[in-house]
Amino acid sequence: MGVNVIRVITALWLVAHFALTTLYVFPTNPVKVTLEPLLDAAIGTYFSQSWRLFAPKPISSDYILLVRPLSDNEFSVAQTKGLPSDGWYDLSSPLLAKHQSNRFSTYGRFARVALDAVQDYLDNPDDDQLVQPMVELASSFCKDIGQCNTNYVALQIDKVRSKPWSERGTSKPRAVESTLVGIFLIDPSVENAHLYQI
């Protein structure tokens, strides 16, 4: 009889534990709010998790880091007439595509550095230190494609929003918000990354 009692207690404990875990990872709802102290004391203390069953803020945009190599002459023209609309290169999309085709490569690490720098900059555009990783990647890109007469790079971030559900089947293009980061001197100390080919 003692073994059966232990089995019943164990089964009840497991059912309660998994029920609390399920509530813990669910989005906020009235039941979860009511049981919040119990959930924090039981699951939050001993089995805390850094994920949620339903993401509260799903990714709704893609970020693209664009670079425009500039010669000294182009830099002078850009100071008075603005940046040219042609000759911009996408630095982040090729890295993501190469990472998706070969998961064991280091392309993912480079793409993550670029996208983290972009998001950090957009969160805090006044911090000059957050621009440096983007400048280094752009400088390496210019060396990779043989832009020897380039001394400056213009950086721009395009935020490409996802289509609303009502527009999924249409040919309407995705909305794009562009943020000009600025024009920077190329970092001559950066080595070729051998990631880009034009």
Instruction: List, for residues 116-133, the tens digit of each pLDDT value.
Output: 888 888 888 888 888 888
pLDDT value at residue 128 = 82
CA distance 23 to 34: 11
70 plus 161 within the same structural domain: yes
pLDDT value at residue 50 = 61
Q: Do 147 and 89 meet the contact criterion of CB atoms below 8 Å apart?
A: no
Residue 13 belongs to some domain of the structure: yes
pLDDT value at residue 9 = 92
CA distance 27 to 197: 45
Residue 191 belongs to some domain of the structure: no
32 plus 86 within the same structural domain: no
CA distance 181 to 84: 15
pLDDT value at residue 15 = 92
71 plus 166 within the same structural domain: yes
C-alpha to C-alpha distances, 83 to 71, 156, 179, nearest whole angstrom: 12, 11, 13
Tens digit of each residue's pLDDT (9 = 90 or more) over 144-198: 888 777 889 999 999 988 887 778 788 888 888 999 999 999 888 877 766 666 5
Residue 54 belongs to some domain of the structure: no
The amino acid sitting at 165 is W
176 plus 87 within the same structural domain: yes
38 plus 66 within the same structural domain: no
Tens digit of each residue's pLDDT (9 = 90 or more) over 20-74: 888 887 777 788 888 888 888 888 777 776 655 555 556 678 888 999 999 889 8
pLDDT value at residue 56 = 57
Q: Do 52 and 27 meet the contact criterion of CB atoms below 8 Å apart?
A: yes
CA distance 192 to 110: 13
The pTM score is 0.66
pLDDT value at residue 197 = 62
129 plus 174 within the same structural domain: yes
Tens digit of each residue's pLDDT (9 = 90 or more) over 155-166: 999 998 888 777
pLDDT value at residue 194 = 67
Q: Do 98 and 197 meet the contact criterion of CB atoms below 8 Å apart?
A: no
Domain residues for 7? 2-46
pLDDT value at residue 156 = 94
Tens digit of each residue's pLDDT (9 = 90 or more) over 65-113: 999 999 889 899 988 898 988 989 998 888 777 777 777 777 777 777 7
Q: Do 75 and 183 meet the contact criterion of CB atoms below 8 Å apart?
A: yes
